[in-house]
Structure 1
Amino acid sequence: MSITENVYDVLKQRGFVAQATDEEELRAYLSKPASCYIGFDPTADSLHIGSMVPIMALAHMQRAGHRPLVLVGGGTGMVGDPSGKTEMRQILSVEQIQANVDALKQQLSHFLDFGENKAVMLNNADWLLNLGYIEFLRDIGKHFSVNRMLAAESYKMRLETGLNFIEFNYMLLQAYDFYYLSQHYDCNLQMGGNDQWGNIVAGIELIRRKSGKNAFAITFPLLTTASGAKMGKTASGAVWLSPKKTNPFEFYQYWVNTDDRDVDRFLKLYTFLPMKEIQAVEGLEGQELNVVKTILAYEVTCQTHGAKEALAAYDAASSVFGRRHLPEDLLPSSSIPRRARDELQGVPCTVVPMSRVKEGVPAFELFAEIGLCESKSAARRLIQQGGAYVNEERLRAFDEHIGPDHVKEGGIFLKAGKKKIHRIVVEG
């Protein structure tokens, strides 16, 4: 994805957007490299898959050339957010919060690059804990209407069960976070769940009043499965991103067992597979759809736990439930192995350096070189007669270049006729 493809349109097309402020101005803000942030609550040492929509949104932002700011609420976590809650949260110690923050950064690093000048993780305790109460009331509190605050959906729900004064301050603190990031990190876009709309808009208004800048909001739909269940909840409890809480096989199986009605939506939200490929599998049913679920499970597990764990989960599921045939043209951008590794045993291999593959090798030369054909002229005839294949796709021209785009799972499969097969192992 390049910066010329506006990431707002990508997010909207893939189903991330529930509400947004001024779309045209927002597109303009995202038409050049910009900063955006999402806050995460550090009340546990792991996120669960209910948090994956905001995580994936940040990942799309980074892939589009923007800078994601991950804000963990070390300060607000000591207060508690009433949004979407029917009772007050447990207040954690500073030590518990820091341990949770460290664990969350490790999990998020599977999705985001925290290298130099890349994504940034911040803790709002760094500025909130040093605020003077009287100064805060004078400089920030004066901009908030109690009547408007009480009309916010997050407060309405808690007024029925009891809203204490600590929680009542939460909107002011979140708004101040947005203002602080706008001032110190030039970040003027906040994203979050749809239940955060009131808090985010309060921050936009504070930024406008205090600095005269335009700021923006994107909120995500609060997802449930097609059956009405809360996303990430199972009979045995939440599905966590931490392998200590939910092992990779159980994580993989959660996605394999996706309701048929949710598959298209989940491919758009939880994978980076191209929209054209996802649209091509819409409407599939039965065994074909089950194969798509296998690819969905592999892709999400690979993103969350790494390729090694995803492959182990895939192999374990295949040994128990049987290995499904995965056509080469089904979601072809997926890195899932299309062949069982036992199918590869005994297949002749030739090692070719990546430097040569990058240059591109004419197909007829490669077929002759590795012995699939006796000579270059024989290779030309084979290809012209339609009997030569690369990764199960028929070669159309004898001088077609075999290059980096043909590398799958570290190699390239070449086939002459129906029985002669050879694998190019690409190294370097």
Structure 2
Amino acid sequence: MKNIIDELTWRGLIKNSVPGVEKQLKKTTTIYIGFDPTYDSLHIGSLIPIIILIHFQKMGHKSLILIGGATGFIGDPSGKYDQRIFLKKKTLQENIESIKKQLSKLLDSYSEKIEFINNFDWIKNISFLKFIRNIGKYFTINYMISKDSVKKRIQNNNKKYKGISFMEFTYTLIQGYDFFYLNKKKNCLLQVGGSDQWGNITTGIELIKKKTGKKAYGITFPLVTRTNGLKFGKSMQEGNIWLDHNRTSPYKFYQFWINISDIEIENFIKIYTFFSKKKIETLIFKHRKNPEKRLLQKKLASEITKWVHGKKSYEKVVKISHILFGKKYTNNLFSSLDEDILSFLYDNIPHMFLPYKDFIKGIFLLDLLKKSNLFKSKSEANRALNLNSISINKKIIKKNILLKKENIIKKKYILLQFGKKIFFIIKIE
């Protein structure tokens, strides 16, 4: 068996680890990774534990995926400024099913070897008195407030944080109990989570040690952050890149990877692909020679879009990317595109619907730009026109023309463009 720690380390997938874990992982080990179903979709930050789980599977280890039907009722306070919004039981159950479906698809050939579990199945049977007597007695208040997830929330001098409820305060004990339960029932010896989970993971390790005397282990991975330093997470919806095509279109998903900076891409190609070290080093070498070709970005975008959205969606995304950013497309060439591609384009970029009757007498471009919400006002749109920043069907327009039927692609679509990267498509029926 290869050394899994070495493999994850060179990829930049280990932030913290418990001493002795490398020796333990020379033997077949059962690991667990958890997901709280606070939303109906995972996001690109969620891909990292899934990727790590696949690395473990490839090296012969056993895996458990815990979907937190119980902890989802509470919400993990780690990295949060205030209390989560409570979810209804029906919503939580729908989220569980949706996330399980996503995970099964992503894990594909490995899914039969991975056991899905729900912590509600064992938490529901424990009374409050029994829990605080049998679990709470092992942890002092000093121990619990030393955890970063709690400490930050109770700092009076930090106005961003709004205190912490008793409910959230106990979250670390419940997650710690999950690890203890899985250690007892499934002989699970290792928990893997994001670096913000280190406190929760060590609580579980401590509980296992105090109740059984056995050694357990933990590994955390670095969190993927946006340019503003905030992590990608389910509760930070603005700017998040979701795995569900209804939340983040395959086109937007693909473009996210294409637009990763050269500073970040060398790390991302290691983290988000399963290419060998030798292949990645070769790709990095070629990329550095001609960074303007964006070889690494294209390679990563290809691999991860196919994995998450499938080969057919990837091929359509590449096609519409050529349409939007290529120079060869004219109104005549647009007319040769099949309805499937145009419909896919409509679904994947900002769009709106207009009735055909609005085009019987024509509609002025400035009015259309205002309707599309590309601009707040006609005067703002007019300034863009004067700067030659507006295109219709890939043709630059310099004045407020009257749009008529001949401007409609396939009698159905009009493609607006502002600058180089902002697109908007209108469907007319």
Deviating more after overlay: 35-44 vs 63-72: 63-72
Which residue does 2:119 correspond to in 1?
Answer: 124
Alignment partner of 1:7 is 2:4: yes
TM-score (norm 2): 0.70
Deviation at 1:231, TM superposition (A): 5.0
Q: CA deviation at 1:235?
A: 11
Task: Supply the AA of the counterpart residue of 1:205.
Answer: E
Corresponding position of 2:82: 87
Q: Distance in 2 between matches of 1:123 and 1:116?
A: 16
Residue 239 of structure 1 deviates from its aligned partner by 0.9
Q: Which residue of 1 aligns with 2:230?
A: 230
Q: Are residue 141 (structure 1) and residue 141 (structure 2) matched?
A: no
Aligned-CA RMSD value: 2.1
Give the Å deviation of 1:215: 0.5
1:54–1:192 Cα contact (<8 Å) kept: yes
Deviation at 1:261, TM superposition (A): 0.7
Once residues 310 and 115 of structure 2 are traced to their aligned partners in structure 1, the CA distance between those partners, rounded to angstroms, is 21
- Equivalent-residue separation in structure 2 for 1:231 and 1:79 (angstroms): 20
AA of the residue aligned to 2:10: Q
Q: Secondary structure of 1:120's match?
A: strand
2:64 matched residue in structure 1: 69
**Partners of 1:15 and 1:269 within 8 A in 2:** yes
Contact 2:38–2:75 under 8 Å retained in 1: no
TM-superposed CA distance for 1:223, in Å, is 2.6
TM-score, with structure 1 as normaliser: 0.70
Change (3 A) 1:140 1:280: same
Amino acid at match of 2:144: M
Superposed CA deviations along residues 340-379 of structure 1, whole A, max 9, x for unmatched, are xxxxxxxxxxxxxxxxxxxxxxxxxxxxxxxxxxxxxxxx
Aligned-residue offset at 1:103: 0.6
Instruction: Identify the residue that residue 14 of structure 2 maps to in structure 1.
Output: 17
- What's the counterpart of residue 34 of structure 1? 29
Letter paired with 2:66:
L
Write the distance in 1 (CA, Å) between the matches of 2:291 and 2:112: 45
Contact 1:45 1:99 in 2 (8 A): yes
Identity of aligned residues (%): 42
Where 1:190 maps in the other structure, the secondary structure is strand
Q: SS where residue 113 of structure 2 aligns?
A: coil
CA distance in 2, matches of 1:235, 1:278: 32
1:115, distance to aligned residue in structure 2 (A): 6.6
Q: Which amino acid aligns with 1:73?
A: G
Q: Deviations over 1:377-424 (max 9, x none)?
A: xxxxxxxxxxxxxxxxxxxxxxxxxxxxxxxxxxxxxxxxxxxxxxxx
State the partner residue of 2:304. 300
| Deviation of 1:291 (Å) | 2.4
CA contact (8 A) 1:110 1:306 kept: no
Corresponding residue number in structure 2 for 1:422: none
Cα distance between partner residues in 2 of 1:92 and 1:53: 25
Corresponding letter in the other structure for 1:320: L
Tell me the distance in 1 between the aligned counterparts of 2:231 and 2:319: 26
Q: Is the 8 A contact 1:113 1:119 kept in 2?
A: no
Q: Quick one: distance in 1 between partners of 2:256 and 2:232?
A: 9
Alpha-carbon distance in 2 for matches of 1:268, 1:99: 33
Q: 1:126 to 1:84 in 2, by over 3 A?
A: same
- Structure 1, unaligned stretches of length 5 or more? 324-428
- Show the counterpart of 1:58: 53
| Counterpart pick for 1:252 among 248, 251, 254 | 254
For residue 69 of structure 2, give the secondary structure of its aligned residue in structure 1. Answer: coil
